[in-house]
Amino acid sequence: MSTPSHPASSSFAGWPGGKRAAVSLSFDDAAVSQLDYVVPILNRYGVRGTFYVTPGDGSIFVQHIDRWRQVHAAGHEIGNHTVLHPCSAKRPWITPDLALEGYTLQQIEAEIDDATRRLQELLPGYEPTTFAYPCGDTFVGDGEDRVSYIPSVARRFVAARGVGSSDNDPATCDLHNVSSWLVENVTAEQMIAMIQPTIEAGRWAIFCFHGVGGDHLRVEAEALEGLVRYLKEREDEIWTDTVYAIGKYVAQARTSPAAK
């Protein structure tokens, strides 16, 4: 039931500790450059990141599992990104067997649960985390049979990350498809400029990185470090944490369940 007489923001209790806004740094596909460059930067500044990985047999994640265990043990989030990374057939690199157009809900649910099981086996003390839609695509099937798999994700995770063009209003965002900015070849100054409206409006910004200092969709390590340094210097006003920590907080801080 909705309460249209109230502004939407009235259903959010506000950020903890008097902070003005929230930022999450997320990193996809277990690119090795993340181990080489991202993790040392985050650890040096004491900032936690979210890493969405595909833990299939022989995957790049499993090949470097010893290093990923250290990342997990250091307090970073290792999130579910399915096992095989299925996306829409529209993506040029997707083979027919990995096209979501050919998936059923049962298939995608089984694959998500398989990824969780694998992460539990690979990472000691693995706790619930969040999900990231491969390529940001949220459907299975085609034509009349196309359906969203967001409800399947919502039954399994407190929050899930999509890809979009905006930050997130904590009062109204879809917690099971929160928007993130997929960045490539940007400077620290550009990313810092992106979050100024987020801070002004008290919202939640999520960056989606791939390669850092190397690999595909690359952002230079100096650019990431500049952003992390900025966030650390302003930790009194900006809450920087994992998608899980902030998503869980937002879920609990929506004070008016009847308005959802």
Q: Is 167 in the site for Zn ion (CB under 5 A)?
A: no
- CB of 79 vs Zn ion, minimal distance in Å: 11
Number of residues located near Zn ion, criterion CB under 5 A: 3
Window 91 to 150, contacts with Zn ion (CB under 5 A) = 134
Write down how long the chain is. Answer: 260
**Which stretches of the chain are DSSP H helices?**
32-33, 39-45, 60-63, 65-73, 105-122, 150-154, 188-194, 196-201, 221-233, 243-253
Q: Name the β-bridge partners of 21.
A: 238
Please state the closest distance from residue 94 (CB atom) to Zn ion, in A: 12
Residue 133, token pair as written in the block: 């839609």
Q: Of the two residues 39 and 188, which places its CB atom closer to Zn ion in the complex?
A: 39
- To Zn ion, the closest distance from the beta carbon of 110 in angstroms equals 19
Residue whose CB is less far from Zn ion, 134 or 226:
134
Binding-residue pattern over the window 172 to 211 for Zn ion, x denoting contact by CB under 5 A: ----------------------------------------
Helix (H) or strand (E) holding 235: none
Instruction: Tell me how far, at minimum, the Cβ of 193 lies from Zn ion, in Å.
Output: 26
Q: Identify which of residues 134 and 170 has a Cβ nearer to Zn ion in the complex.
A: 134
For the segment 16-45, give every residue that binds Zn ion (CB under 5 A): 28-29
| Cβ-contact 251, 86 below 8 angstroms | no
Q: How many CA atoms lie within 13 A of 83 on its CB side?
A: 16
Nearer to Zn ion, 29 or 215 (CB): 29
* 1 SS3 class: coil
Q: Which of 184, 208, 198 is nearest to 239 (CA)?
A: 198
Q: What is the DSSP code (8-state) at residue 216?
A: S
Distance in Å, CB of 247 to Zn ion, minimum = 18
Q: Select the residue whose beta carbon is closest to Zn ion and give its number.
A: 28
Cβ proximity to Zn ion, 28 vs 225, nearer residue: 28
Query: Taking the complex as a whole, how short is the minimal distance between the CB of residue 29 and Zn ion, in angstroms?
Result: 4
CA atoms within 13 A on the CB side of 194: 22
Pick between residue 49 and residue 134 the one whose CB is nearest to Zn ion. Answer: 134
CB 176 within 8 A of CB 182: no
Interface ranges with Zn ion (CB under 5 A)? 28-29, 134
